């Protein structure tokens, strides 16, 4: 911005002291407290002053000596200036403008990623320092610790500011120079802005929106595998960083080290986010711009969100589910021969990895160095996993997605966040077919007609635990019967023995032996 020099036709505002050659003062704008205002070059100033002020810059101080013939001549000026007086003016130029002037703007700080610029009817929030042309400050939004907020070109701002803000980007720093007739003109403004004062504003645009704006979504990162998108009524868990348009942060779920969890499309969150979270994929990232009319409006909220603030959310969707969701099973490998599959009461061994939907590993059978074992259908594992392990072949591998109501619920579990959707990678390693609930042993073939003699291997008319155990294990080995699966089969056999040893004397006699007769025969 080059210094401007006074030329013919310019208007000037300056302070001065006027003296004679002997130093005696005859006039002073300082004494009146009001600078002199006049136009240069059209006979509205003393001829000597018209010439002496030419080429001056704002804040320049000059001593101009004016001979009588370029001042008041041989007539003088009443009782103030005698005839043929030489006049000395000590002056400082405060302001300069021309009726042809326009608003001048100078960008001091550019914005690399400028998504949008100010246009007429936009609402803006900006900080500013305001000075007169000579640098005298008259106002500052920073001192009030709040932005100046207004609609552009809606008669809410002085005309020069209406023009000077056009084309600005959020985050841009701009100097705006406004001539008096596009500012406060002949009247000035209070005691801070004198009449016919040019104004200089250093403006930082903080925020920008239009009442017609909707949310905008960009910078999307969508996973390749997206089998389902969120809909109204889904419960979503997501992380976010929240900032204003100038980059100032106001909130972050990461700082709290927990996701934000909510139902969407049901009015539990601000309207803009309610809308932005519909149609997302698990694992998706997106940048969401929410105008104030879809956020916290003109009043803002507390000391965190100012009124009429545009909000930027950088969102990472961790997972979502619906209360009506079922277990989702994807078979990734199945052996060609699959004649035997898992069902309730079976004892199985399986390998697994359990993760959150963002890939965070929660726990794994590898942590224990061996496969996990469990009995299906007896509440040994979470319901969703029990379902996911049903009808599997040995060697089969699956990916199983379990909604929280079939997992660890709203409260979560050890190491599992509340309302978390779980992702299991499963491989069935071993399968021992089970027996119906309430049974310890069933016959797979016909029961021996003379069971007591078959059990009484030494024919001494009594069967101790050791003999009983040998008999039962032999039936299992020969495929004639099935023992209830258990990590400790001896404990099952001991329980069966106790059921038959009515008098608890450590041996079974023929009178004590009882066999259940129904769909399954059991000792």
Q: Report d(CA 12, CA 196) in Å as an integer.
A: 9
Of 390, 383, 395, 406, nearest in space to 344 by CA: 390
Q: Does the annotation count 126 as an active-site position?
A: no
Q: Residue 395: how many CB atoms within 10 A of its CB?
A: 16
- Determine the Cα–Cα distance for residues 411 and 400; give it in Å rounded to an integer: 21
Using an 8 Å Cβ cutoff, are 240 and 252 in contact? yes
Cβ atoms of 231 and 278 closer than 8 Å: yes
Annotated catalytic, 138?
A: yes
- From the list 128, 209, 263, 468, the catalytic residue is 128
Burial 199-238 (b: 16+ CB within 10 A, else e): bbbbbbbbbbbbeebebebeeeeeeeeeeeebeeebbbbb
139 catalytically annotated: yes
Q: Is there a contact between 63 and 17 (Cβ–Cβ < 8 Å)?
A: no
Taking Cα atoms as reference points, which of 518, 352, 367 lies closest to residue 422? 352
CB atoms near residue 377 (< 10 Å): 17
Give catalytic status of residue 27 as yes or no: no
Which of 138, 240, 296, 423 is the catalytic position?
A: 138
CB atoms within 10 A of CB 320: 27
Q: Which of 201, 209, 238, 352 is catalytic?
A: 201
Q: Which helix (H) or strand (E) holds 216?
A: strand 216-221
Burial class (CB in 10 A: 0-12, 13-18, 19+), 370: exposed
| Partners of 481 in beta bridges | 443
Angle, CA of 262, 264 and 265, to the nearest 5°: 150
Sign of CA dihedral 165, 169, 171, 172: negative
Helix (H) or strand (E) holding 191: none
Q: Could you count the other beta carbons within 10 Å of the beta carbon of residue 378?
A: 12
Q: How far is CA 469 from CA 383, 466, 493, in A?
A: 34, 5, 6
Which residue in the list 89, 126, 184, 439 is annotated as catalytic? 184
User: Which position among 27, 158, 358, 492 bears the catalytic label?
Assistant: 158
Sequence-distant (6+) residues with CB within 8 A of 144 are: none
Chain-centroid distance of CA 217 in Å reads 12
Query: What number of other Cβ atoms are within 10 A of residue 490's Cβ?
Result: 11
Give the distance between the most distant pair of CA atoms in the chain. Answer: 160
| Residue 158 known to be catalytic | yes
Q: Choosing from 27, 84, 90, 139, which is the catalytic residue?
A: 139
**Segment holding 466, helix H or strand E:** helix 465-477
Burial of 519 (0-12, 13-18, 19+ CB in 10 A): exposed
72 is catalytic: no
Active site residues: 128, 138-139, 158, 184, 201
């Amino acid at each position: 911005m080059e210094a401007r020099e006074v030329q013919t036709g310019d208007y000037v505002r300056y302070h001065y002291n006027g003296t004679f050659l002997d130093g005696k003062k005859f006039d002073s704008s300082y004494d009146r407290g009001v600078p002199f205002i006049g136009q240069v070059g059209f006979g509205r100033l003393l001829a000597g002053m018209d010439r002496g002020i030419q080429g001056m810059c704002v804040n320049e101080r000059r001593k101009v000596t004016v001979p009588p013939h370029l001042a008041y001549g041989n007539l003088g000026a009443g009782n103030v200036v005698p005839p043929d007086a030489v006049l000395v003016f000590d002056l400082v130029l405060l302001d300069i403008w021309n009726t042809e002037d326009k608003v001048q703007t100078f960008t001091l700080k550019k914005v690399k990623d400028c998504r949008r610029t100010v246009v007429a009817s936009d609402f803006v929030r900006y900080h500013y320092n305001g000075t007169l042309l000579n640098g005298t400050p008259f106002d500052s939004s920073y001192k009030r610790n709040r932005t100046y907020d207004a609609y552009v070109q809606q008669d809410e701002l002085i005309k020069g500011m209406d023009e000077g803000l056009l084309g600005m980007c959020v985050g841009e720093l701009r100097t705006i120079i406004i001539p008096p007739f596009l500012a406060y003109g002949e009247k000035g403004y209070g005691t801070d802005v004198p009449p016919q004062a040019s104004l200089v504003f250093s403006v930082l645009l903080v925020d920008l929106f239009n009442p017609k704006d909707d949310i905008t979504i960009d910078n999307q990162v969508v996973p390749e595998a997206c089998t389902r998108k969120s809909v109204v009524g889904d419960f979503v868990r997501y992380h976010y960083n929240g900032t204003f348009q100038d980059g100032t942060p106001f909130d972050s779920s990461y700082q709290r080290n927990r996701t934000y969890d909510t139902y969407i499309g049901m009015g539990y969150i601000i309207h803009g986010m309610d809308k932005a979270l519909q149609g997302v994929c698990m694992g998706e990232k997106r940048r969401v711009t929410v105008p104030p009319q879809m956020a916290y409006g003109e009043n803002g909220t507390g000391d965190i969100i100012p009124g009429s603030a545009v909000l930027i959310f950088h969102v990472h969707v961790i997972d979502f589910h619906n209360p009506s969701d079922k277990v989702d099973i994807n078979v990734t490998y199945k052996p060609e021969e699959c004649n035997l599959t898992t069902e309730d009461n079976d004892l199985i061994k399986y390998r697994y990895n359990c993760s959150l939907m963002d890939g965070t590993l929660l726990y794994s059978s590898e942590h224990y160095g061996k496969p996990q074992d469990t009995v299906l259908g007896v509440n040994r594992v979470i319901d969703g996993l029990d379902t996911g392990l049903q009808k599997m072949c040995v060697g089969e591998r699956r990916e199983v997605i379990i909604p929280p109501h079939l997992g660890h619920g709203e409260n979560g579990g050890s190491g599992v966040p509340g309302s978390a959707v779980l992702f299991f990678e499963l491989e069935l390693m071993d399968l021992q077919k089970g027996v119906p609930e309430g049974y310890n042993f069933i016959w797979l073939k016909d029961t021996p007609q003379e069971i007591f003699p078959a059990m009484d291997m030494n024919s001494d008319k009594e069967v101790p635990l050791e003999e009983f155990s040998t008999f039962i294990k032999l039936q299992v080995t020969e495929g004639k019967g099935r023992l209830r699966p258990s990590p400790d089969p001896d404990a099952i056999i001991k329980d069966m023995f106790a059921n038959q040893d009515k008098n608890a004397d450590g041996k079974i006699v023929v009178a004590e032996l009882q066999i259940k007769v129904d769909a399954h025969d059991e000792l």
